[in-house]
Amino acid sequence: MMIDKRLLSAVPESKRYIAANVALQWLALAANMVLVTAVCRLLTRLWAGTALSGDLAATAGVAVVALAVRFACAVGAARMSYLSSRWVKTRLRGLLYEKLLRLGTAYRESVQTSEVVQVAVEGVDQLEIYFGQYLPQFFYAMLAPLTLFAVLAPIDLPSAAVLLLCVPLIPASIAAVQTWAKKLLGRYWGQYTALGDTFLENLQGLTTLKIYEADDFKNREMNAQAEAFRKITMRVLTMQLNSITIMDLIAYGGAAAGMILAVSRLAAGAISLQGCLMILLLAADFFLPMRLLGSFFHVAMNGMAASEKIFRLLDTPEPARGNRPAPADCTLALEAVDFAFEEARPILRKVTMQFPKGSFTALVGESGCGKSTVAALLTGRRHGQAGRITLGGVPLGELDEASLAATVTYLSHNSYLFKGTVRDNLRMAAPDADDAALWKVLEQVRLADFLRAEQGLDTPLQEKASNLSGGQCQRLALARALLHDTPVYIFDEATSNIDVESENDIMALIRTLACRKTVILISHRLANVTGADKLYLLAEGRVAEAGTHTDLLAAQGAYARLWNAQQQLEHYTGQEVSA
Ligand SMILES: Nc1ncnc2c1ncn2[C@@H]1O[C@H](COP(=O)(O)OP(=O)(O)OP(=O)(O)O)[C@@H](O)[C@H]1O
């Protein structure tokens, strides 16, 4: 009940540090008992007037040694706590990291980024106390009263028995609140991650909120959420404080009961003065370890609530992953694929498409018709609910993920550029590429002149390359994609959000690339796709039309209507500009 076996077995290395910690605390207790015995003997002799001249020096010597041992044990136990905590952090964060890697590119299908951050940082920190302090204290709190009982029982069995029997009242009081506390802490963690989620989102979207003057509204919304979190935090603290007060009452009450009994036994002449003094001085030690355990317990419970989240993440089903290498024939195909984010709202229905090796295919259709979803399926970031998605006839699920990544490069309009230098960002696509190769792709995307005027390949980039323009970011992302040099490229609206000059440059590069690679181009602008070997028009989750630009125009269907509408618009805009 108070020890989570799965948690313990997740970090097996911590067991020996916990054992050493308990042993050191026990040694400190033994030193304390020796000290108390020596002091009590001296006091008794002084009281009786039988003290010898060397008694004081001998007791002082014992005291110095005992205190030195206690100090060394305390330092050692703290070191063991630290080592155990260090293992917990390393191991659990390692497990979480490996899990995310195994979930692969599809990880966001099952977990939210902010939850991963909170669980891996704060959640694991909570477990540091569970392993470093709570677990050693749990075992020591069992051992200490039994040891004291073994020492005091021969002196006076009734007093020692009363003290021992009162000790379990502390864990009993903890158990009484445990079920309730568990529920409360579960809710506390739920609200904590939800608040973190909102905070992260609002922080990322702060500029947008300012532009629309919606920051005040979001502020109130977050205040309400923070207030709810404050309330539940106060409830957790109240619960912990109340429980600590109850434990204190039991601890001091129990010790007092034992002491009163010992004094009355002394008055009745049933025990010696030295025995009575020993019981008086050691009575509190029966309860202190259990009392300390009680105070760690609430932190440990918090850690256990966090561990549920950790295990939920670790238990997230992983997509079936094979280990077959990508075949030489890099023809991609979708056969009768169904896909839905929510069951009630199908996005793709029985979609069949072929992207033969070396071909140039375009996906077009109205916004929201599922073009990017097809791209996500082809790159393994999403998984279809029915049908087959294959590369060279091999289902994607059977392919080794690295091999798929080495075959297909995906470039969207918001590819991630990392903080660092231009070289760092390019090198992640080709770690062995030399500077000449990097400059070559930068020339191709027409970014070289700009970078030469800056600091060349060492030009620093801020987070998300916020110190570059939209067109420059897009060109740099394209340079990185070209450097990756895979047989298949998927461009998903790679020219949206940028100026006409950049768009023309990038489109020219994509067309050149299409002469030697398999290219799949998703574009809302039909003028960009007229040269494609085949066009697929998606509508309402189905392939509505397929063929070359000329075929589809001749068919006079939805594509032709879309084409005419866009032509009219571009012609009209052109006239407006020239007028
Ligand atoms: N993570 C998601 N959860 C739920 N629904 C989603 C999610 N992502 C996309 N959708 C929905 O799936 C549908 C298809 O989205 P998709 O991004 O594939 O469209 P698209 O054709 O690429 O659109 P656009 O041209 O505007 O980029 C949309 O209706 C969208 O609302």
Q: Provide ipTM, 2 decimals.
A: 0.95
pLDDT at 335 (0 to 100): 94
Instruction: Assess contact for 431 and 425: CB atoms under 8 A.
Output: no
Assess whether the C-beta atom of 61 lies below 6 angstroms from ligand 1. no
Assess whether the C-beta atom of 540 lies below 6 angstroms from ligand 1. no
Assess whether the C-beta atom of 372 lies below 6 angstroms from ligand 1. yes
Among protein residues, the one whose CA lies closest to atom 2 of ligand 1: 341
Question: Which residues, 6+ apart, have CB-to-CB distance to 331 below 8 Å?
Answer: 354, 355, 356, 357, 391, 392, 393, 518
Atom number in ligand 1 closest to CA 365: 21
Query: What is the token pair recorded at 94?
Result: 């390692």
Question: Which residues, 6+ apart, have CB-to-CB distance to 386 below 8 Å?
Answer: 336, 337, 338
Assess whether the C-beta atom of 341 lies below 6 angstroms from ligand 1. yes
* Number of helices followed by number of strands (H, E) in the chain: 20, 12
Please state, in angstroms and as integers, the Cα–Cα distance from residue 360 to each residue in 134, 265, 335, 491, 529, following that order.
62, 99, 19, 11, 9
What phi and psi, each to the nearest 5 degrees, are found at residue 246?
A: -60, -45
Q: How far apart are CA 103 and CA 115, in angstroms?
A: 15
Among protein residues, the one whose CA lies closest to atom 5 of ligand 1: 341
Question: Which residues, 6+ apart, have CB-to-CB distance to 20 below 8 Å?
Answer: 76, 80
Count of CB atoms situated within 10 Å of the CB of 124? 23
The residues of the chain that CATH labels 3.40.50.300 are: 326-400+489-496+520-579, 408-485
Q: How far apart are CA 188 and CA 194, in angstroms?
A: 10
Q: How far apart are CA 134 and CA 568, in angstroms?
A: 73
pLDDT at 1 (0 to 100): 47
pLDDT at 235 (0 to 100): 92
Nearest-10 Cα torsion for 379, 383, 388, 391: 20
Residues of the chain with pLDDT under 70: 1-2, 106, 109-110, 320, 497, 571-579
CA 138 to chain centre: 28
Q: How far apart are CA 97 and CA 309, in angstroms?
A: 15
Give residue 206's identity as a one-letter amino acid code: L
Mutate to test the pocket of ligand 1, among 343, 364, 372 (most ligand atoms within 8 A of CB): 372
pLDDT at 577 (0 to 100): 46
Instruction: Assess contact for 58 and 173: CB atoms under 8 A.
Output: no
pLDDT at 575 (0 to 100): 57
Query: What is the token pair recorded at 97?
Result: 């990291």
Looking at the DSSP bridge assignments, the partners of residue 364 are 537
pLDDT at 497 (0 to 100): 65
The CATH architecture that domain 408-485 belongs to is: 3-Layer(aba) Sandwich (3.40)
The residues of the chain that CATH labels 1.20.1560.10 are: 86-314
Residue 374 Cα, ligand 1 centroid: separation in angstroms? 10
Atom number in ligand 1 closest to CA 524: 25
Among protein residues, the one whose CA lies closest to atom 17 of ligand 1: 372
* CA-based end-to-end distance of the chain: 81
Assess whether the C-beta atom of 367 lies below 6 angstroms from ligand 1. yes
Among protein residues, the one whose CA lies closest to atom 1 of ligand 1: 341
Mutate to test the pocket of ligand 1, among 343, 345, 369, 381 (most ligand atoms within 8 A of CB): 369
Q: How far apart are CA 208 and CA 204, in angstroms?
A: 9
Q: What angle do CA 10, 14, 20 make, to 5 degrees?
A: 155
Check if CATH label 1.20.1560.10 holds for domain 86-314: yes
Closest CA to 102 of 321, 288, 331, 358: 321
CATH no., domain 326-400+489-496+520-579: 3.40.50.300
Mutate to test the pocket of ligand 1, among 339, 341, 536 (most ligand atoms within 8 A of CB): 341
Q: How far apart are CA 310 and CA 79, in angstroms?
A: 26
Q: How far apart are CA 56 and CA 466, in angstroms?
A: 76
Instruction: Assess contact for 44 and 277: CB atoms under 8 A.
Output: yes
Residue 106 Cα, ligand 1 centroid: separation in angstroms? 16
Looking at the DSSP bridge assignments, the partners of residue 488 are 408, 518
Question: Which residues, 6+ apart, have CB-to-CB distance to 338 below 8 Å?
Answer: 346, 348, 349, 350, 351, 384, 385, 386, 387
Closest CA to 441 of 494, 379, 506: 506
Task: Classify burial at 500, counting beta carbons within 10 Å of its beta carbon; exposed 0-12, middle 13-18, buried 19 or more.
Answer: exposed
Closest CA to 291 of 201, 166, 193: 166
Among protein residues, the one whose CA lies closest to atom 25 of ligand 1: 367
Assess whether the C-beta atom of 373 lies below 6 angstroms from ligand 1. yes
Q: How far apart are CA 402 and CA 195, in angstroms?
A: 36
Closest CA to 93 of 167, 148, 34, 11: 11
Residue 244 Cα, ligand 1 centroid: separation in angstroms? 52
Among protein residues, the one whose CA lies closest to atom 11 of ligand 1: 368
Residue 388 Cα, ligand 1 centroid: separation in angstroms? 21
Residue 363 Cα, ligand 1 centroid: separation in angstroms? 14
Assess whether the C-beta atom of 523 lies below 6 angstroms from ligand 1. no
Assess whether the C-beta atom of 502 lies below 6 angstroms from ligand 1. no
